[in-house]
Structure 1
Amino acid sequence: MSVFAISQMLVGVALIFDILSFQFKNRKYILLSIAAACFFMAVHFLLLEQWTATVLMAVSAVRYAVSGYTTERRWMYFFCAIAVLGTIWTYTGLVSILSFGATFVLTIAAFSKTDKRLREITFFGVALWIVHNIVVWSPSAIGLESFFFMSNVVGYYRYYMRPAKTELVLEQE
């Protein structure tokens, strides 16, 4: 089996954690599930020799685990600084900038105080990862981030749009 095929299968494992993540209401469970997905994605990018993405996904796994327990801004700044250093250390051009942009946005999201704000900011970071994965051509990673995006949409709808819609119907009756 080729290294590429193995890398694509690891994305399948990450996908399970990503899809589950935004179906939780509890912020901590959301973030710990994403941390697990990031670990598998880091190994995926390692196998593809995408060094900036590897480093930033590994940092993201730790960041999500930490942010599951705290929203202190100093941790957010710490992980932003680590992302900058990791990007400088592994810089290769556009793909490095895309993975840095995604990581930076998702770092802000991870340290949001509410799951609603976490979900809203995540839309932008995930969009950047989708573009990154198109540029490096990892079909399964494109699919993963697309499913992650849609899982976030479904979770956002379930917890923030549907309840508002239900309240409007009840008020009209």
Structure 2
Amino acid sequence: MSLFFLSQVLVAIAIGFDLMSFQFKERKKIVGCLFCAGILISSHFILLEQWTAAGLMIIATIRYLTSIFSTSSKLKYLFCSLSIVTSVVTYAGIASVLSCIGSVFQTVAAFNKDDKRLRELMVIGTSFWLVHNYVIGSPTAVLMEALFISSNLIGYYRYYYKNA
């Protein structure tokens, strides 16, 4: 089995956690699923030797775990700073820029107390990751981000439009 194929399998499994995440209303459950997906996605990027993305997803995984217990602005700024420093240190062109922007949006989202705002910011951040995954040539990761955005929008509709 090639490393590329294995990386795609890991992302396929992460898709399950991503799809589940935004079908929950409770912020902690959303973020808990994102933590599980983050472990698999960071492993995917390591196998593809995409070091900026791998570093950012490792930070994201720690960030999601942390944000289950705290929505402190200080932590938000710490994780945004870590993402920027990691992106500068591992800079490899446009892919690094795209993943950094996506990571910063998702960091702000993760530390937002309001699940509605969390969903909105996640769509923006995920859009940058979708383009990133296209640029690096990971088709399953592109599919994952598209499904993640779709799941988020379905959850958004269920909780904020359907019941209104």
Q: In which range does the TM-score fall when normalised by the shorter chain?
A: over 0.9
Residue 83 of structure 1 aligns with which residue? 83
Aligned residue pairs, count: 164
1:120 Cα deviation from its structure 2 partner: 0.8
Q: Take 1:151 and 1:61, find their aligned partners in 2: how far apart are those partners?
A: 20
Q: Take 2:66 and 2:116, find their aligned partners in 1: how far apart are those partners?
A: 19
Q: Take 1:57 and 1:131, find their aligned partners in 2: how far apart are those partners?
A: 16
1:91 Cα deviation from its structure 2 partner: 0.5
Q: Take 1:52 and 1:120, find their aligned partners in 2: how far apart are those partners?
A: 24
| Residue ranges of structure 2 left out of the alignment (5+ in a row) | none
Larger-gyration structure (1/2): 1
Residue 148 of structure 2 aligns with which residue? 148
How do 1:1-173 and structure 2 match up within 5 A?
1-164=1-164
* RMSD of aligned residue pairs (Cα, Å): 0.6
1:33 Cα deviation from its structure 2 partner: 0.5
TM-score (norm 1): 0.93
| Residue ranges of structure 1 left out of the alignment (5+ in a row) | 165-173
Identity %: 45
1:69 Cα deviation from its structure 2 partner: 1.4
Poorly superposed stretches of 4+, deviation over 2 Å: none
Residue 169 of structure 1 aligns with which residue? none
1:31 Cα deviation from its structure 2 partner: 0.2
